[in-house]
Chain A
Amino acid sequence: MTFDEKRALALLRIATQSPSATFRDGQEAAIRHVVEGRGRLLVVQKTGWGKSFVYFIATLLLREQGAGPTLLVSPLLALMRNQIAAAERMGVRAETINSDNSEEWERIEAAIERDEIDILLISPERLANARFESQVLSSIADRLALLVVDEAHCISDWGHDFRPHYRLLERIIRGLPSNMRLLATTATANDRVMADLSNVLGPGLTVMRGELQRDSLTLQTLRLPSQAERLAWIADRLGTLQGHGIIYALTVRDANLVAAWLKLRGFAVEAYTGKSGDDREALEEALLRNEVKALVATTALGMGYDKPDLAFVIHYQTPGSVVAYYQQVGRAGRALESAYGVLLSGEEESDITGWFITSAFPTRVEAAHVLEALDGAPDGLSARAIMGAVNLSFGRIERTLSLLSLESPAPIIKDGSVWVRTAVGISESFWARAERLTQLRRDEQEEMQRYVRLPFGDHMAYLIGALDGDATAISAPRLAPLPAETSEATVQAAVSFLRRSHLPIEPRLKWPTGGLPSLKVKGNIARTAAPGRALCVWGDAGWGTAVRLGKYHDGRFSDAIVAALAQMFREWSPTPAPTWVTCVPSVRHPTLVPDLAGRVAAELGLPYIATLTCVDARPEQKTMANSTQQARNVDGSLALSGVTVPSGPVLLVDDVVDSRWTLTVSAWLLRGAGCVAVYPLVLADGGNGS
C-alpha cells in the first residue's frame, strides 16, 4: 500500500484540531513504515509523544486503500477515550470490546461483520475469551490488516508489568506470518526488555526510539514511615501546589482512604480505582477540565492517560519498580515548563509490593491441588466447583487456572464453562520462570528503595540510568524541593481520621454451592443478619495494631478499644435499636470475646446474654482459604446454648470477621429462636471476606 504524505498530515491536523500541526520527530516515518508494509516495527517513545496518531492515521490510510481493519491490544483500554475521540474526528471508526461494555457487544459484533469498524481496541484478556474468539476474531481473522500491540513491554518476562495474557499475545505474534503488519509501542523498555521484544517480534524488526528524560520534572523523595505523617504532609502541601495532579496509592483501600481524608480537609479530590466502574470516564474528564485538584488513583489510572498540563504526581507509597514509577510520574509536566514528582515512602509499602510479588504465581502445592481436583473430574470443573474440592481462596484458584492455561502446551484448558485437564504436566520451565520473575521483582523493589534514599537533584539521572537511557544530558531540577515538615496539628487530625474508618459488613444472602449438610440448608438464606460494622481492617494504621495486641499478646482488649466500639455504635445507631448484646463463642479463646461483649454491653447500658455455644472444635476460620471451605467449617460447630433468646434486636459481637460465615450461621440460629434482627459488631475485618 502507498503512503500519502499530504493525506497523513491533513489527518493529523484534523485530529489535533490544529491547522498548523506538524508531525513530531519520527511520527511520519513510523506511519510510512506501517502503511508501506516494510516489516514489523517497534516504537519506543515516552508517553505523550503521540503514538496513537501513528496507528490511527496508518489505519485510516490502509482502510482508504481497501485493506481490512486494525486490531489494537492494550492493557488499559479505559484510558484511551481521549485518543479515540481524536481518532473519531479523523473519521476512524473505532470501537472497544471489554468486560465493561457487554451491552454493546452485539451491536459492535454486527458492525465488524459488516466491515464497518476500522480499528477494534481490546485488552489482552479478550484474546482468551471463547465468545470473543468465535464472534469477533473469527470474523476479522481472515482480513486483519494491522495488529497493534500497545504497551508492548508487557510482553517481556523482564518487564515490571509482565501480564500473563501477554504470553498468549506473544504466541499469537510468533504465529503470525511475516506478511502481517505489526506495530508495537511502548514508553519504557530497558535493554533486557528490548532484547525480549526483539526476540518475540523479530527477525527483521525495525526499532524507532526516542529520548526518555523529561526536563520539566522536578523529582523528590521523602521517607515518612507512618500513614498519618504522609496524610498530613499531602494535606499540608496540596494547597500550595500549582495546578492539578495525580496522587498514586498502591491499593484501592489506600486510594479511597487518602481521598476521604483529603476531602475531609476540604480538597476537591476523588478516588479513581479499578473499582470506580462507570464513574471512571467522568473522573478522567473532571481532571482534564481541572474540576478536581487531584485524582487519588491506583495504577488503574496509568498507561494512556494524557493530560499535558498535569502539574504534579505524588506517590503515597513507593511502587514496586522503576519502570512502573517512571510511567506514573512521567505523566506530569508533558506540556509544562515545570512540574513536581514527589515520592513518599512509608513503612507498609514493602509489605504491599512484596505481597504482589509472592502472590503473582501459584505455589507448587497450590498447582498440584488444583490439578489433582481436575484429574478426578473427567468432565471438568468450574472454578467455583474447585473451591469445594480445594482449600484455596477463589482468587488463588483463578490465578492458578489462568496461569496454567496460558502455558503452552497447557496442563489445563477451558472447555466452555469448565476447566479440563489435558495430557501434559506443568513444565519445569514454568517454575523456573516463576522463580526468575519473583527474584527480578525483588531486585526492582530494592532498586526503588535505593531511589528513595537519593539526595535531591540525583533522581532523574538515576531513573534514566536504570531504564538504560542516556543519563549524561540531564539538567538540574527547575523547582526548589518542597519542605519535608508537617504540622503537628495535621498529624493529630490524620491519626484520629485513621481511627475513624469504620467499615460496613454486608450480610451474606446465599448458602455456598451445595448447601450446609448439618444445618440442612441451601440456596437463599431465609434468616439473614442485618448489615453490621467493623472498627478497622486487621493490622491497619488506625486500630489494627491495638486489636492485634489485644488478641494475641494481652489476651484482653483494651478499654480504648471498648470505647471506640461504643463510639462507633453511637455514630452508626441502627434502627430498630438493639436491646441486648450477645457474642460469637470460641473454643480457642473462651473468655476474650465474651469479656469484650460484656464490657461493650455495660458501656452501652444493655444486658449481655450468652446465647450461643460451640459444639465442636474446628480449625480457625482463617486457615480455611475460601468461602465454601469456611462455610463447611462452621457448619455444625455452633448451636444455641439453651438460654432463652430475647426477641428484641441484638448486637452480635465478634473480634475478627473473615468469611462472615460464623456471623451468618449465628444470626440464622438467633433469628430461628425468635430474635427479630441481628447486628454484627466486630473489631476487625480480616480482609478475606471476598
Chain B
Amino acid sequence: MIDPLSPDTQAILLLTAPLSAGSGGSREILTPGEYKKLARHLHSIAERPATLLGPGAEALVESCRTVIEADRLRRLLGRGLRLSQALERWRARAIWVMSRADAAYPRRLRERLRDDAPPVLYGCGDQARLAEGGLAVVGSRNADSELIEFTQRIGALAAAARVNIVSGGARGIDSAAMSGALEMGGCAVGVLADGLEKAAIAREYREVLPDRLTLVSPYDPSAGFNVGHAMQRNKLIYALADRALVVSADVNKGGTWAGAVEQLERWRMVPVHVRTTGAESAGLQALRARGALEWPTVDSAEALRYASAPSVVGRVSENGVSATGSVDEDTERGRLLAMTVEPKSEREIIAGTGLTQQRVRALLAILVELGKLERRTRPVRYVARTQTVLLV
C-alpha cells in the first residue's frame, strides 16, 4: 500500500516528518506553519515539492530562501536514508503513508481543512473508508458505565445501519463507540493522536484490520501521547465524518469540549449533536448554548441511519454548515471559477471579483490545489477546469 511513494510525498515527508524510528528525529523539520508557508510559496511559483528532489532542486532551494533557510532545506532533503528506513519500519507493520499531494488523500480533509489539512497522513487499513464519512462519536476518557453502554449501543446500531463510526481511538467513549460497532460486524475509522505503530500490530485489532477498521493519524507512527496532538487531531475526526455526536464533555476544559467548540465556532464542517438522554451534563448544555443540536432518541438501525445522514450539499443546514466549506467562501470560489472560463490574469481576477489581492491569491492557490483551476505560465493565467482533478 505504501508503494510507490510519489516524489511529492517523499519530499513532503523529508521536510515535515520526524521519520523517527523510535528515537531522536530531526529537530529541524518544518512546523505546520512553516510548511504552510513553503507550500504557498511553491504554489505561487507553480512548483511542486517533487522538484526539490530532481535536477532543478538547487535553484528551487535558493528561491525558497525567503521562506525557509536554504541550508536547512538541504539538510532536511538529505535525510533520504532516514526516510527509507522509516518506510521500511512502517511497511513491516502494514502502515501506509500519504501526503496532500496524493490523489488518495481524503477529499474531505483537503476540502474542509484546506491548508490546515495535515501534509502527511499515516494509517493502517483500507484507505477508501476515509472517503465514506460516518458518524463521529466523541467524549471523555473517563466515562461511567452507563455512558459507555449508551455509546456501545450507538456503535452497535451504526454497525447494523452500515454507518461507519469515526472516533479518536482513545479509551472511554472513543473506544466504546468503536468496539460497539466492530463487535457487531460494523466498520470504524480511528483517528489517533499517538501510537499508531503499536495500534497497527495490537492484538485487539488483528481481527478487524484491515477489513473493517481503518486507523489514521497525522503524527509520526512512533509518536507518544501529546496533549497538543490530541487537540489538533479533533478537527480530523469531524472532517472525516458526516455528523458528530458528543456523548460527554466538561465545561471549558478537556479535549472533547475544545474540539466541539472549535467545530461549532470555527470550522462548522458538520452538524454537531449532543446527547439528550440519560444523566444531565453541564458541558453538553453549554455546547447546546453554542449551537449544538439535540441527538434524537435512536433505537433502531433505521433511526440511526436517518439521524446520522449528511446534511445536503450546498444547503445551509442546521447549525449553519454546508457540506464542503463555509458559505462565504463557496460563493467566492464560485464567482472566481465563473469568471475564469476564459484564461484570466491575477489582476483581472482581482478587478472582476472585487476581492483583495491577498484573498484572491489564497483562493487561487486553493483552487489550483483542488484541481479546479489550471495555472498556465508565460504569461501566468488561470483557467477553470471542466473536470475536477485532484492535484497537489
Contacts and interface: CB of A to CB of B under 8 A. Distances in A.
B93 interface: yes
B200 interface: yes
A573 interface: no
Contact of B22 (A134, A143, A168, A172): A134
A410 B93 CA distance: 7
Contact of B83 (A147, A173, A177): A177
B21 A378 contact: no
Contact of B201 (A134, A176, A422): A422
A420 B201 contact: yes
Q: Classify the interface of chain B: helix, strand, loop or mixed.
A: helix
Contact of A410 (B78, B87, B92, B210): B92
Nearest to A140: B81
A145 B84 CA distance: 14
A246 interface: no
B92 A147 contact: no
Interface string B1-28: 0011101001100100000011110100
A491 B238 CA distance: 85
B54 interface: yes
Interface string A381-411: 0000000000000000000000001001110
Nearest to A407: B92
B78 A68 contact: yes
Contacts of A142: 26, 75, 78-79, 81-82
Nearest to A128: B88
A378 B203 CA distance: 8
A129 interface: no
A172 B79 contact: no
Interface size band for B: 35 or more
Which of A141, A145, A176, A413: most chain B CB closer than 10 A? Answer: A141
A85 B85 CA distance: 30
Interface in B33-69: 52-54, 57
A177 B11 contact: yes
Give the one of B10, B78, B206, B209 with max A CB within 10 A. Answer: B78
Given A168-B88, A179-B54, A423-B209, A413 B93 contact: yes
A178 interface: yes
Contact of A177 (B14, B24, B26, B200): B14
A143 B78 contact: yes
A423 B200 contact: yes
Contact of B7 (A178, A378, A423): A178
B88 A141 contact: no
A174 interface: yes
Contacts of B21: 133-134, 138
A171 interface: yes
B10 A141 contact: no
A138 B201 CA distance: 23
Contacts of A147: 81
B23 A177 contact: no
Contact of B84 (A175, A408, A424): A175
Contacts of A176: 80-81, 83-84
11 contacts: A137-B85, A142-B82, A171-B84, A174-B4, A175-B88, A177-B53, A177-B77, A179-B77, A409-B91, A410-B93, A413-B93
* 8 closest cross-chain pairs (CB), A and B: A175-B84, A141-B82, A180-B80, A409-B94, A175-B87, A423-B206, A141-B81, A177-B10
Interface of A: 68, 71, 133-134, 137-138, 140-145, 147, 168, 171-180, 378, 405, 408-410, 413, 420, 422-424
Given A138-B24, A177-B14, 9 more contacts: A134-B21, A134-B23, A138-B82, A141-B81, A171-B88, A176-B80, A177-B10, A178-B53, A423-B201
Interface of B: 3-5, 7, 10-11, 14, 21-24, 26, 52-54, 57, 75, 77-85, 87-88, 91-94, 200-201, 203, 205-206, 209-210
